[in-house]
C-alpha cells in the first residue's frame, strides 16, 4: 500500500508556531513517527509540504497518475476556503483522510467549516500528531477489509 502524506501552509513551522496549540514536535519529528509506523506495517509513504496551493493540487493529480492508494492530508488553512484543493481531491479516484492536529471544532468559529472534508472518506481532528498514524491505521484496516472480500 502506498500513501501520500500531504501538509499544507505553515506546517513546516511545527514546533515553533503556537506550540501551546500544535505542540513541540517538528514536521521532521512527525514524518519520522509516520515512517516508523509505516515500516512496521509494510506501508510505503511519501511526503509533501507546501505553502502553495498549486503545488498541493499538482501532488494530488500526480498521486492519481502514479496509482497512490490513499492520501493523508492536513490542508492547514486551505481547509476552510480552498475550493481548488477540494476540487482536486474530488477529481481523482484516490481516497483521502483529512487530519488536523488540534480540535478545530473547539477553536475559532471560522475553523469549524471544512470545504475539503466532504470529499474525504474521514477526518481525524484533535488527536495531536497521532492523528496521522490513526489515518494510516484507518487505511491499513480498510485495505485489509478489502483484501478479505
Catalytic sites, residue numbers = 22, 100
DSSP state of 101: S
State how far the alpha carbon of 98 is from the alpha carbons of 56, 74, 77, 131, 134, in Å: 14, 6, 12, 9, 11
Instruction: Estimate the crossing angle of helix 83-90 against helix 53-65, to 10 degrees.
Output: 0
Amino acid at each position: 500500500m502506498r500513501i501520500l502524506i500531504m501538509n499544507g501552509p505553515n506546517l513546516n513551522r511545527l514546533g515553533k508556531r503556537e506550540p501551546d496549540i500544535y505542540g513541540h514536535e517538528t514536521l521532521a519529528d512527525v514524518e519520522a513517527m509516520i515512517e516508523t509506523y509505516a515500516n512496521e506495517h509494510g506501508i510505503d509513504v511519501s511526503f509533501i509540504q507546501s505553502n502553495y496551493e498549486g503545488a498541493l493540487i499538482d501532488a494530488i493529480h500526480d498521486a492519481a497518475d502514479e496509482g497512490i492508494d490513499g492520501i493523508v492530508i492536513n490542508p492547514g488553512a486551505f481547509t476552510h476556503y480552498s475550493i481548488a484543493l477540494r476540487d482536486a481531491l474530488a477529481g481523482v479516484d484516490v481516497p483521502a483522510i483529512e487530519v488536523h492536529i488540534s480540535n478545530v471544532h473547539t477553536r475559532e468559529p471560522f475553523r469549524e467549516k471544512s470545504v475539503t472534508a466532504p470529499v474525504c472518506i474521514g477526518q481525524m481532528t484533535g488527536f495531536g500528531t497521532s492523528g496521522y498514524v490513526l489515518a494510516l491505521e484507518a487505511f491499513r484496516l480498510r485495505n485489509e477489509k478489502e483484501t478479505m472480500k
